Structure 1
Amino acid sequence: MKRVLILYASMSGNTEEMADLIERGSGSDNIDIVKKQIDIDDISVDELRTYDGLLLGSYTWGDGDLPDEMEDFYDDLEDVDLSGNRAATFGSCDSMYPQYGAAVDILQDKLSELGAEIVLEGLKVELTPEDEDEQACLEFGKRFKEALDK
């Protein structure tokens, strides 16, 4: 059975809602999903190696930064070897800012730099997922599961 970690930072609940939808889209057959919110649940970077798949989600803070709670975790990633892990990123975004969803890109680049195989392009949703965005999150989860099964 494949193990997947969905780790996210959410301030207003939008990225958390995305995580819930992605989890639902992943289904429950042959997959053990652990979902953690970075500023609430205990997580160490060493724990990442115990998962086959990593889904990291974050909102973008200000003009294109990681939020504080994700930044501390990001800094701790520096020496982690994620070779053999499959990964993807997601996050709630706000087009009011000049860099749309930069946190999603920052996390994706870091995972790739650490050796993870990026199996899906980062999923960005404008604020709260609604209608087609909800479907996109469900589909993202389904496609991630399919990529794990290959």
Structure 2
Amino acid sequence: MRVFIGYVSMSGNTEDIATLLYDELNSLGCDVLMECLDTVDTEELLTYTGVLIGSYTWGDGDLPYEAEDFYEELGDKKLSGVMAGCFGSGDYDYPKFCAAVDIFASKLNENGAQVFDQLLKVELSPESTEQQMACKEFARSFYFWLKERNIQHVS
């Protein structure tokens, strides 16, 4: 199973989440590629079994500057058949906690992707054991969700 993890991270928090997801998916036997969203060609998304998009939230619920080009490149690109999930970091001190995660999930859904119904939202950095376990559980749940859909797709 090929999984792509694309993310943007300013302070390293979202990158830390992406790394936890990468490690867990890799341990499950997935072929995982992880890279920053600003280097991603959106056409590549169509070549993966699963796609995870991660972003921190800027200001009062905005996409960060580093994610805007990727978001715009998605435009109205047809993503039928793409199975995607979203994750990110945020800060409860702001009015729209992890809104970038919701923005990406909506965009992927609008473009025809099947979006995993669990969204991973982490306050700041995944430093606590509880936060790290939540990241690993999200990765495992995403893996089994992909596996289930691939079996249905092949049948």
Letter matched to residue 20 of structure 1: T
1:6 aligns with 2:8: no
Q: Is the 8 A contact 2:85 2:105 kept in 1?
A: yes
Q: Is the 8 A contact 1:18 1:137 kept in 2?
A: yes
Q: Is the 8 A contact 1:24 1:141 kept in 2?
A: no
TM-score, normalised relative to structure 1: 0.93
SS at match of 2:80: coil
Deviates more, 1:116-125 or 1:26-35: 26-35
SS at match of 2:18: helix
Partner of residue 64 from structure 1, selected from 61, 65, 68: 61
Task: Tell me, in whole angstroms, the C-alpha distance in 2 between the residues paired with 1:3 and 1:81.
Answer: 20
How many residues align structurally?
A: 147
> Relative to 1, partners in 2 of residues 1:11 and 1:73: Cα closer, same or farther, differing over 3 Å?
same
TM-score, normalised relative to structure 2: 0.90
SS at match of 1:146: helix
Greater share of helix: 2
Which residue matches 2:151? none
What are structure 1's unaligned runs of at least 5 residues?
Answer: none
Which residue matches 2:134? 136
Which residue matches 2:17? 18
Q: Is the 8 A contact 1:25 1:141 kept in 2?
A: yes
Query: Relative contact order, CA 8 A, sep 6+: which one is greater?
Result: 1
Task: Tell me, in whole angstroms, the C-alpha distance in 1 between the residues paired with 2:109 and 2:85.
Answer: 10
What are structure 2's unaligned runs of at least 5 residues?
Answer: 149-155
Letter matched to residue 89 of structure 1: C
Q: Give the deviation of 1:20 after TM superposition.
A: 0.7
Q: Give the deviation of 1:16 after TM superposition.
A: 0.4
SS at match of 1:5: strand
1:27 aligns with 2:35: no
Letter matched to residue 133 of structure 1: Q
Q: Give the deviation of 1:85 after TM superposition.
A: 1.3
1:117 aligns with 2:132: no
Q: Give the deviation of 1:139 after TM superposition.
A: 0.7
Partner of residue 48 from structure 2, selected from 43, 51, 54: 51
Q: Give the deviation of 1:82 after TM superposition.
A: 1.2
Task: Tell me, in whole angstroms, the C-alpha distance in 1 between the residues paired with 2:32 and 2:45.
Answer: 13
1:94 aligns with 2:102: no
Q: Is the 8 A contact 1:120 1:144 kept in 2?
A: no
